[in-house]
Structure 1
Amino acid sequence: MAQPFNPSVPIYQQLCERIKNKIIRGELKIGERLPSVRDLAIESEVNPNTVQRAYRELEESGIVEKKRGQGTFVTQEPDILQHMREQQKINHIRFFVTEMCEMGFSEAEMLDGLRDYLEKKEDNV
């Protein structure tokens, strides 16, 4: 069964995020071939055109490269992947901070909460 999609965000964007996260986690390595459009469409239970759009977005940003007759591959440019990793980190931090501010937490409360969480997380590992 495919991982569910958020109905308020376009599916192709969610596929892009999932692929980026796989690269960041090391599930997809530099130069590794991505699943074919058809295979990912079946796996994700989406239309192949949606996967094609996600691959096109990733290609335009330089994260993946299309090789004619061979498929789509993670770029071999470490600088592009490092930039993507930093951008993903900033996006997640921005989301976290925005949500916390909307709930009325101060910067100090957020930092204290993060420190407490990370300390407890280390104890439970």
Structure 2
Amino acid sequence: MPPALPFFDIQPQLATPIYRQVMEQVQRQVAGGQLRAGDELPSVRAVAERHAINPMTVSKAYSLLEAQGLLERRRGVGMVVAAGVPTAGGDADRLALLAPALESAAQQARELGIPPEAALAAFERLLHPDPKETP
């Protein structure tokens, strides 16, 4: 059963190209175990329509992931996570995928003059939100 849309969190305002956002999100979901071998990805058309982006952008991301061996095309089904792809990698593998976002956040904190302790406290709150504060 394909994952429910919205499957991707596309943020056009970021400096990261949209195709890279799609690729990195698939890589993280596979590494984190949310996607496993054989799981279907949403169609190019569904992703493009949902996020109002060019279908060629989604197709490029899927094709590059296919070239990396992470995805495979199945006739009549579409793109699926390739068989034999390890999921739920070790902590080091998953942290390596998180590193670019942390580097960006650290740079922004430095530019804003936020002390490291305050930035870490803000990150901790985001990791463990208080359920009483969420609607």
TM-score, normalisation: structure 2:
0.61
Aligned residue among 45, 50, 53 for 2:60: 53
Please tell me whether the aligned partners of residues 10 and 22 of structure 2 are also in contact (alpha carbons under 8 angstroms). no
**Number of the residue aligned with 2:108:** 99
**Number of the residue aligned with 2:3:** none
How far apart are the structure 1 equivalents of 2:81 and 2:17?
22
Aligned residue among 2, 6, 10 for 2:12: 6
Structure in which a larger fraction of residues adopt helix: 1
Aligned residue among 94, 103, 106 for 1:85: 94
How far apart are the structure 1 equivalents of 2:75 and 2:123?
46
Q: Cα–Cα, structure 1 residues 85 and 63, in superposed 2: closer, same or farther, change >3 Å?
A: farther
How far apart are the structure 1 equivalents of 2:128 and 2:18?
35
Q: Which runs of 5+ in 1 are unaligned?
A: none
Across the two proteins, how many residue pairs are aligned to each other? 121
Q: Deviations over 1:58-87 (max 9, x none)?
A: 2233332233554211234116x6376333
Determine what percentage of the aligned residue pairs are the same residue: 27
How far apart are the structure 2 equivalents of 1:20 and 1:98?
23
Q: Which has the higher contact order (CA 8 A, sep 6+)?
A: 2
What amino acid maps onto 1:86 in structure 2? Answer: L
Q: Cα–Cα, structure 1 residues 46 and 6, in superposed 2: closer, same or farther, change >3 Å?
A: closer
How far apart are the structure 1 equivalents of 2:60 and 2:127?
41
Alpha carbon RMSD of aligned pairs, Å?
A: 3.6
Instruction: Measure how far apart 1:12 and its partner are.
Output: 1.9
